[in-house]
Each structure stands twice: as structure tokens, then as C-alpha cells.
Chains A and B, each alone.
Chain A
Amino acid sequence: MKKILFVLMLITASPAFAAGVYDRVMDSGTIRCGYIPYPPAMIVDPNTGEKSGIFYDVMNEIGKRLSLKVEWVQESGWGTFINDLKSDRFDLMCSAIWTNSARAREADHTEPLYYSAITGWVKAGDSRFDSGLKMLNDPQYSIATIDGETAATIAKTDFPQATLVSLPELSAVSDMALSVSTGKADITFLENYIAQGFLKTNPGTIKQAGEVLRLYGNAIYMKKGEHDLRLMIDDVIGEILNSGFLPELFEKYEVPEHSYLIPAKPYETAP
């Protein structure tokens, strides 16, 4: 009998038997944040360790509006953050994570704060794809990619007949833009923020071609099943999106124009 009681006590005292994350946050008055450095959403100064960024500011604003303290407790990684959420190392992954099906198996997310679009980029002056990318699925055209990177996935899925110009796995993503601007490839697929950053240092060298190929919401992640927490954070994100807060942050962090897409307004404007 004592053994049974002891086992029961152990089980109920374990983290798996703790109250949900929402209850824990409300009881402690604190949101414990995990983060992954990924400018401009989350920036960690390598010298001072000081944190900043769009999601950093938004999360602190969410805390302020909910009267909850925000603690930035642990840096995590792309491949480990879901396990960190599951094992309660932090309450929320508070920096920008792209929403996708694979992650949806294991974790839930808030409404996106903004969207990252991936589009085609060609050498400035190249007008061959002005009417769209349909003709790109042809061996005569070459696509700059990096093995394992999103551009390679899009090329293989959407344009399987085109020729790949594969860069080494450790290349910088902006090297794909360089391949296009120097004529080594006809086109590449880049997140607009990266392309706009490349254009800032290499003005007039590349231009956008065709429609949006992929669109990813940038959202905050939480443990699967934390619906009360998600609804609470979503309400504040709605408030933030309906105010001028986000454009101010784009200004503050010098995000180049057209880098991100803002969620559509939920109302129609007067005619």
C-alpha cells in the first residue's frame, strides 16, 4: 500500500502532471520565453548578449498588455524547440517560427504577425519571366539553389525539368542572389527579406519575377493542446495588428520595403 501511494505521489508530482502552461503562466504571472536568434525577428548581440528584434519587442508588449512578466530564459534551435516546449523548458517559443504541416503534428501556433514570401529573383534587365514562371520548367533555364535549402525544394517540386546550379551546403543564402546577378544562373528563389537585403548592398542587380511561390506565417509556438494560452496571445496579437505597432517596429529595425507581408485587415475600408 505504501508503495502504491509513493508511486502515485511521484507521478502526480512529475512535470507531466503539472497544470497546463496557461495555468502555470497565470499562477506565476510570468511567461518564460525560448528564442532562436534570427534577425530581424530576434537579435542577440554577440558581445553583450543584449536582445532585441521585432518578435522580442512584440512579446514584451504582449506581456505588458496582459500584465505578465516576460522572461527570456533559454536559447533553443530549429530542430529542438518543439521538444523544449514539450519538456517545459519554456512556456512559449517567442521568436519567429514559420508555420508548416510538419510542425503542426507536434505543436500549436498563434496567428502570424507577418508573412514571409518566397518569390523568383532574376538578373536586373532580364525580361524573360515578366509574364510569369511557367516557361521556367525547361532544361534551358537554370536555377541557383543550395542543397537542402527551400529554393532546392521549390525547384524540384515546381520546376523539375529546369537545370539546377547547386551551391555548397554551407553557402550563404545571399550567394544564390550573387549567382543570378553574375549570370551563373537564370533565377533563384529567395525570401523577400533576404533579397531586399542583397539589393541594399548591391543596388539594381536583381529583380523580382513571377508570383509568390511559397508563403509562410511567422508565429509564436506553444505546446500542443494549449488552447487557452493560444487564444489569450492571439487576442493581443489581434490588438497589435490593428494598431500601428508593427509598422513602427519595421521602421525601428530598418526592414527594407516589401520584405514582409502584413496580415489583411479584417474589415473593408469605406468606399
Chain B
Amino acid sequence: MKKILLILFLSILPLSPAFAGKVYDRVMESGTIRCGYAMWTPILYAEPNTGELKGIFHDLMEEAGKRLGLKIEWAEETGWGTLVEGMATDRYDMLCTGLYHSTGRAKIIGFGLPVFYSPLHVAAKKEDMRFDRDVTALNNPAFKIVVLEGEISSIAARQIFPKAETAAMPQMQDYALILKEIETGKGDATLVEVETFKNYDAANPDKLKLVGGPVSIFPTSVGLPRDDMAFGNMINTAIEELTNDGTIDRILKKHEKYPEAFLRVAKPYDAPERSGKKD
């Protein structure tokens, strides 16, 4: 009988309002956010000599932690394709790197408010004119798009150019190797963000080009546990505060080499002419 009562008691505990959310309760109890992360310069990267983490999302998370009075523990590095699995198995509390929002990922994780927007372009060989007039010509089984497995290029290629052949490279691969595949003619095109392309172009001038305007613009943010809104709301308020007081803009300016690489989040308010009473 005692056992039955105990089971009854334990089974109704989670119904208590004190149970705001599994991750939220754990984080508030430990005073620490455990971060899972994948690296991509300048989103998040390690200094080659010291291993010290740096980058946009490193600075963002450390500042958010300071304001929330919580320690940020960079708990586990993983690949882009396996990032979300660690969330499902509670190996870390959130994903503290810059993730493009995508429908496929949204089945497993939630996303924070956008920190910035990333334009994604088609890149092809400099002399290749086949897609110049109309980039949708790439949506043809005759063409091969080289992508990084699990990363947004593979997701976007299958969504935007579903008829084209895709060749996926292993997920821990440096993206420069994918661009090299295009340069050496092993693929017709890839999908790439501005910063990555311009870094490659600076080291390998006049080999590749961006074709037309962006094929998509992705909100980029942290990954959150899907079923814990108490935790998600807390992180989102911190992101909102860091956006509104200019901190994120300062962090982006510190890390970006090319001004058009990271599009800023629009102001949440209308022009002041619309507010208040006219005298």
C-alpha cells in the first residue's frame, strides 16, 4: 500500500507548477547551461594553438550567460549532422552554435529568435555561364551539386533543386574542399554562404563565382529543446535584449570580414512618426 501511495505521489509531482520544464529546472538547479556545438568560422571556432573557443556564438552565449547569471559550459563538440541527436538524448541543454532554421531540423529541435540572417548563394566555376541567366537551370538531373552531409547546403540543395544530382561529402569536412571540387570540375555547383565563399576566393582568386542573388535567406540562431518553452522563453528574451541594445551588432562587426555576410535582424518597431500623439 505504501508503495502504491509513493508511486501515486511521484507520478503527480511533474504536474506541480514548480515543474516549469525539464531543461529549465535542471539548468536553474545547476546554474549551468551545457552547450553542444559544431564549428564553422566565424560562427564558432577554436584557436588552432590553444584550442580556445571564439566566434560569434561564443561571444553571444557568454554574454547571454552573464546576463542570465548562468555559467556556459561548452560540453560537447559534434558534427553538423549529429548535433540534434545529442539534444534528444539530453547530452547537452541546447545547441550554442549558429544553426540555419530548417523544417527538417524543426521536427526534432526548436530554434531561438534569429541572431542574424544568412544569404545562401549558388557558386560555380568562374567561366561557367550555364546558370547565369536563370539559376533554376541547375534543377536538372544533368547537373551535380556538391554538398556537406547534414549541413544546410545538403538540405537546401534537395529542397530548392530537387531534380539535380547531389554528391554529399562527410560532415566534418572543411567547406573549402567542397569549393575545390567545383573548381576542379568534380561537380557543377554548390550552395554556399558569403563569408565562406569570399574566404575561398581570397585564397584562390578568380576560380569561382557566385551566381545571381541569394537562392534563400536563412534565419540563423541557437537550437533549443522542443518541449521546454520555459527554457526557450528565457533564452529568447536574452537574444532579444542583446539584439535591442546593439550587443549582437557589435559582436557581428567584430567577427565579420565582409559586411554583406550577416544580415541584421530588422528593428521590431515601426518608425517613430507613427507613435504618440501629434500636438
Chain A residues proximal to chain B, CB less than 8 Å: 1, 4-5, 8, 11-12, 16-18, 20-21, 99-105, 108-109, 112, 114-115, 196, 213-217, 223-225, 227, 230, 250-251, 254-265
Contact = CB atoms under 8 A, between A and B. Distances in A.
B230 A261 contact: no
Interface string B1-13: 1100100110010
B68 A115 contact: no
Contacts of B177: none
A4 B270 contact: no
Contacts of A18: 17
Contacts, number: 126
Binding site secondary structure of chain A = mixed
A263 B17 contact: no
Nearest to B234: A104
B107 interface: no
Chain B interface category by residue count? 35 or more
B276 A11 contact: no
A263 B268 contact: yes
A99 B269 contact: no
B17 A223 contact: yes
B133 interface: no
A36 to B, nearest CB: 19
11 contacts: A18-B17, A99-B237, A101-B64, A101-B67, A101-B237, A114-B275, A250-B275, A257-B272, A261-B275, A262-B270, A263-B270
Contacts of B254: none
A263 B64 contact: no
B69 A254 contact: no
Given A20-B17, A115-B269, A225-B17, A109 B275 contact: no
Contacts of B9: 8, 11
Listed residue (A104, A230, A251) with the most chain B CB atoms within 10 angstroms of its CB:
A104
Given A1-B2, A263-B268, A264-B268, A102 B24 contact: no
B140 interface: no
A101 B269 contact: no
Interface stretch (B120-128, B151-159, B200-208, B239-247): B239-247
Contacts of B234: 101, 104-105
B88 interface: no
Nearest to B276: A257
Interface string B246-279: 1000000000000000000011111010111111
